[in-house]
Amino acid sequence: MLVLPLALLQTLWGLGLMALFCSSVLPRMTLSERLGVGVLVGVITQSYIHLFVMLVLTHDFYASYVALLACAAIPFAFLGSVRRWISPGGARTESPRLFANGAIRCLAGVGVLGLLSWVVAAAIFLPTTDYDALTIWSYRDKVLLTEHTLFTPSLMDPLRFNPMPHHPYMIPIMETSYAMAAGAFRYWAIHVPYVLFYLGFLGLAFGAGKAAGSSWRGGAIAASLALMPAMAVQPLMNSGREPYMAIMAFGAVYYAGRWLEEPEGAWLALSVCFAAALHQTKIEGTPFIAGYAMGILLFCALTKGEFQIRKKQIGWAVLAFVVIMVPWNHVSGSIPKSNHEYGFTNGILSNVHPLGVVMAVPYVLYLMISEFMFRPELFGVAPLAIVAGVTGGWRRENAPARLALLAGPAALLLTLLGLYAVRQTQLDVMKDNNALLSLSRRILVVGPALVYACLYLPWKRTPASLTPSLGFKSAADGL
């Protein structure tokens, strides 16, 4: 039973990568954030390396590869990189408390523990029950575990009952690694990656809150994210992949925000890591990344001189995206089309009445807004914070960066609005009410990123103004 060692080794790997490649920004993270992002980076990068090897090199995927790559984390410890991670050096200012009152801090802690205990309990004791997770994702896990490759008729024969064959494979690789560590397909084993992701998410949530400074916004970010019930509850009820994507989208936007403030390549590298992982998870990643990329370009266009400072970093980021995206796009193109591609809409550009779509937009917009505003069991009172956050604090100096952060979530929301408006006009889909059931989980993808993008007030720092500190804003900055 090697699940726990695998989790620890993947975390160690992530921490080692951070110490090697992001050491310049480690002092500017809280301990919880360093641990959180280390876990996430470790699991994502190891899974992606296995995927890359399978797609490009060996076409197969064995437990020995998982073990070999996991053990590669051990040299990091001996090289002292992890010690550098734990004690990153540099003068550090005292981080502000998110909540001034000790009783409020205790209460928030109890809430976080309550949600975390459910995530762990549901992962261990309950099987996967979501339809898509059973028919698409668990099926892929079983095939990869048994046949050790995605290049098999079980996943590529158009006559086989294999729904959505063009969905990417990073999460199945991730889950299958843990099934291999458990020795067999077990529901609890394939749930372990989400527990790790959730722990990473909590670290990032508190880190993001602290980085926002001592104003109310930092506390609201931390409370909205770390106490968001949807991230704990949705994996069981309604969603296989979307909670993972929500965390990746949040990571991409959060580190993009830090990069917009400080042009350090390490921030952008972290942001790109999460954005690329989003693309390798599911189709919703694509419009999000398109918006995210356009947001960065918009920022460079609206702020004088920023592109000159950052063009090299942007060039490297584009190259990294291409290297990561091309293998899967190539393999996906070679998978034959089948009758088991669920056309989300029955022909988005044909078989549609434009006027009907336009008339459906207000209703769909209402559904999307109601999903946020009238579902406290999923988002708590975070929507109120979103409204308060996005309507205030606009200034000329922070507007380009705020727009850039909002671009990714906005692009995905607009895409969903268009798709669901088309779907509403297709009566045969409407009859079985399936038209609306998936809306909750798709909105979840954008939830945490939207919370952060609406609440955070980025501010511009030149390299000369950077100090080796956590760089927290203070109330004196007027934010």
Task: Check: CB of residue 19 under 8 Å from CB of residue 84.
Answer: yes
Site for other proteins contains 93 (CB under 8 A)? no
Site for other proteins contains 129 (CB under 8 A)? yes
Measure the CA–CA gap between 134 and 141, rounded to whole angstroms.
10
In the complex with other proteins, the residue whose CB is nearer, 94 or 432, is: 432
Stretch that binds other proteins, among 159-167, 253-261, 270-278, 292-300 (CB under 8 A): 159-167
Site for other proteins contains 417 (CB under 8 A)? no
Q: Which of 131, 166, 312, 329 binds other proteins (CB under 8 A)?
A: 131
Task: Check: CB of residue 219 under 8 Å from CB of residue 96.
Answer: no
- Quick one: tokens of 79? 């090289």
The CB-of-201 to other proteins minimum distance in angstroms stands at 14
Q: Which of 9, 25, 144, 232 binds other proteins (CB under 8 A)?
A: 232
The CB-of-61 to other proteins minimum distance in angstroms stands at 17
The 10 Å Cβ neighbour count of residue 387 is: 13
Task: Check: CB of residue 324 under 8 Å from CB of residue 279.
Answer: yes
Site for other proteins contains 176 (CB under 8 A)? no
Task: Check: CB of residue 163 under 8 Å from CB of residue 155.
Answer: no
Please provide the size of the chain in residues. Answer: 479
Residue 116, CA distances (Å) to 111, 113, 233, 323 in order:
9, 5, 10, 35
Site for other proteins contains 56 (CB under 8 A)? no
Q: Which of 51, 122, 150, 296 binds other proteins (CB under 8 A)?
A: 122
Count the residues of the shown chain that bind other proteins, applying the rule CB under 8 A: 77
Site for other proteins contains 159 (CB under 8 A)? yes
In the complex with other proteins, the residue whose CB is nearer, 163 or 265, is: 163
Site for other proteins contains 236 (CB under 8 A)? yes
Q: Which of 381, 387, 414, 430 binds other proteins (CB under 8 A)?
A: 381
The CB-of-337 to other proteins minimum distance in angstroms stands at 13
> What residues between 189 and 228 interact with other proteins by CB under 8 A?
215-216, 219-220, 223-224, 227-228
In the complex with other proteins, the residue whose CB is nearer, 370 or 462, is: 370
Closest CA to 454 of 386, 404, 394: 386
Q: DSSP string of 267-326?
A: HHHHHHHHHHHHHTT-TTHHHHHHHHHHHHHHHHHHSTTHHHHHHHHHHHHHHHHHHHHH
Site for other proteins contains 260 (CB under 8 A)? no
Measure the CA–CA gap between 363 and 369, rounded to whole angstroms.
10
